[in-house]
Homo-oligomer: A and B are copies of this chain.
Amino acid sequence: MPQTHPLNQEVTLSVIKTACSNCNLRELCLPLGLTLEELEQLDNMVSTRRRIKRGDHLYRAGEAFDAIYAIRSGFFKTDVLLEDGRDQVTGFQMAGELLGLDGISTEHHTCNAIALEDSEICAIPFSRLEVLSREIHTLQHHFHKVMSREIVRDHGVMMLLGTMRAEERLAAFLLNLSQRFTARGFSHAEFYLRMTREEIGSYLGLKLETVSRAFSRFQEEGHIAVQQKHIRILNVNGLKALMHHRAV
């Protein structure tokens, strides 16, 4: 029994426009590997597609968890707050990536998700995702992979925070961004940062001054050109070398 809105062509159009099946991110997002028919089932499940204005929260730590979110467009950060006021950015998320996986554990979100630019998200009610993934094996398996990938990513960040020095961290960060922009069809060598130096620093376990100095140093050495948030990578291999060549 397909849902229709015979009295409102607008709504129908908007639904079609934002369906997973038409979304050019589907190969990066949850639908990866699904057949057309399965895609439709997933589409029916996505309850809400919503705009989040820059600076607004998608969810806050402590709120009840009931859905995970796929980013349709835009850019987010997640951060964790400690009682004593310290906070840390735990990640930056871009189109096609999922937000909210941390909430499954306790049924409450454990971090804040904040839009760093005007964004659009698709809300996927988690209980329905579990139902559907019992039916669609591909979806089940892919969802598991996505969660696992998040764990692997976190290990990478732990590595970075635990063993790398400031410039290595920043080089790794830039290369990671570049790679993710590339996967989305953008230039690998030129992009705008959506986050401040302070947010980068928080993510990398550094102070904003240190981030700024490292940017300047990279520029002096010809690895990149920086102008505020505009980054051009001039020498990828230089950055890669920076990441690894280190006196242990």
Binding site for B on A (CB under 8 A): 80, 82-88, 90, 101-106, 110-111, 130, 133-134, 137, 140-141, 144-145, 147-152, 154-155, 157-159, 161-163, 202-205, 244-246, 248
Contact = CB atoms under 8 A, between A and B. Distances in A.
B110 A155 contact: yes
Contacts of A154: 151, 154-155, 157-158
A82 B158 CA distance: 12
How many monomers of this chain does the complex have? 2
17 contacts: A84-B245, A87-B163, A88-B162, A101-B148, A104-B147, A105-B152, A110-B155, A130-B137, A130-B144, A133-B140, A150-B151, A151-B154, A154-B154, A154-B158, A157-B158, A161-B205, A163-B205
Given A88-B163, A147-B151, A150-B151, 4 more contacts: A88-B162, A104-B144, A104-B148, A111-B155
